[in-house]
Amino acid sequence: MFARTLLARRVALLAVLASLAIALPAAAQYVTFPRLGATASLDHHDGFIEIHGDEVFELHILVMPPEGEPTLGHDYQQFEWVLLEPCCGGSATVLDIDYNPALTHEGTLLSGITSTLQDGQECLTGEMIHLATLTLQMDGQTLRGTYFILAGPFGLASDCAGEGVLMTDMQLAVDYFPDITPVEGSTFSDVKRIFR
């Protein structure tokens, strides 16, 4: 009886180990998507920028391959994208937008833009696709901190065969330093003198 129980336990253990060995390669894989979003660099995703006071700065809206891939896997003809407000009404003002002239752009930045390849243009592909450059300025922020600017798809992109392509977004962190002169310190005695 004991030998049978021991044999059953060994068989069960081997079955569990075999199923784990089969599942491990699948667990190591994960699905990646092309990316569309904001970056501080014109030729790669740079998700960080440092801004001081009322300094004017530029961000780029790019379409990039999945992380770790060298080129886009599709030829594109249309993108649907939007500048997303992460919280509390936003923290930057868009002063200007310079769109890619190879595409027509319909819509508004905060409600969504559809960027479509103009007639006669070749499909867009390669290492990255530039959709727009935004000129921004921090909007009266008085506290030092990290503010996030998010841009991403609001619908499927379309490849040149008319098929939909699922994309993910990219975010950018603005490390903001306000240019505020410190107020002269007061002592408790100074405050008491006010109420005499």
Which tens digit of pLDDT belongs to each residue from 23-72? 555 544 567 899 999 999 998 999 999 999 889 999 999 999 998 899 99
Token pair of 181 as six digits = 């002169």
Q: Compute φ and ψ for 114, nearest 5 degrees.
A: -105, 115
| Cα 179 to Cα 59: distance, rounded to the nearest angstrom | 21
Which tens digit of pLDDT belongs to each residue from 146-174? 888 889 999 999 999 989 999 999 989 99
User: Which residues does residue 108 pair with via DSSP β-bridges, in sequence order?
Assistant: 112
Q: Is pLDDT of 88 > 60?
A: no
Which tens digit of pLDDT belongs to each residue from 104-140? 999 998 889 999 998 878 899 999 999 999 999 988 7
> How many other C-beta atoms lie within 10 A of the C-beta of residue 34?
22
Where do the structural domains in the chain lie, given as residue ranges?
1-30, 35-177
Q: What is the pTM of this model?
A: 0.74
Q: For 35-177, which CATH class?
A: mainly beta
Query: What's the angle, vertex CA 68, arms to CA 169 and CA 117, rounded to 5?
Result: 50
Output the pLDDT for position 133.
97
157 and 79 Cβ atoms separated by less than 8 Å:
yes
Q: Is pLDDT of 143 > 60?
A: yes
